[in-house]
Amino acid sequence: MSDPVTLRSFIQRLPKTETHLHIEGALPYQLLQNLYPDRFREPPPFWADDFRYPTFENFEKILIDHAILWYTTPERYREAAAIIFEGLKAQNVRFVETSFHLGIVEFFHISGEAIVRAIKEAAPEGMEVRVYAGMLRNHYTPEMKPVIDDLVNWDLLDGVDLHGVEVWDLEPWTASIWSRVRDAGKETKAHAGEFGGADNVRQVVEELNVRRVQHGVRAVEDPDVVSLLHEVDATLDICPISNVKLQVVPSMDRHPIRQLFDSGIRCTINTDDPFSFGNTLTDEYEALGTQLGFSERELIQVARNGFEVGSMPAVVRQGALEELDAIDSAQPR
């Protein structure tokens, strides 16, 4: 692979997508520094390359404790999203799929539809943004049931995603809601195969009928599940640095994306929660190139995957794919 400077320049040239991004988990640190300059003067310790979260629960608590300091109104979502999207645009990202957590709606009693609108209003020129409502596996409570039932009527909402602890049982309401959302012309995703094993991936594919699995890396543990992903033409929206820092995988050079990609599974590369991991999309591509042996042509294919699967206007897709084809054609044979 190229030297680091050349590789970074090459990655910058690639038009890219970000299809697995939690808006709360992308909270710009500068906003907390502006709010509480004494408390957040120094960069957080969890940005260190060698930092590892001991448990998912620890990661989740740290993230929530920080996110609720900022995400209290739709206006604050708009302000944060504008900074997040400009940072992605500077990395040549053209298309973004981001989710917001319905728990914020419940906790602060604010309008989820207003949050979706605020996020979309923050999209800069030249970037398409899609917004998903994320919910937990046990979120269909008496208080949240009316909100979740009404998601199909949110005109600006692009879809739903299943968040949180994967090892919790998949409750019966979930399949019904996911089906209704698709019938309403919206997209469906689910987190699986991160802390849950390969069976967890099979479950969301077969029972929720999703074709966009967030993470999904532990599918590699069962060849039959890998075959299933091939059969249904599923996409794995993978976040390698997140997987390492959460100890889903022992190290980057042993990340199963190499095996999954080589097997022909469509994989995209994303950041997940940049606030929690101190990562950028460029960092993710660099990790593939420097630690997993991805060639420049393979990085082009990773970028292409995002444009092939994302729900964007045809003109945006075609333009990006033509750019990638031109870059590919210029590569040594």
Tell me the angle at which helices 314-329 and 296-309 cross, rounded to the nearest 10 degrees: 170
Under 8 Å between Cβ of 228 and 243: no
Is residue 79 part of the annotated active site? The answer reads no
Under 8 Å between Cβ of 220 and 256: yes
Under 8 Å between Cβ of 106 and 291: no
d(CA 217, CA 185): 28
Q: Which of 187, 194, 296, 323 is catalytic?
A: 194
* Catalytic site positions: 194
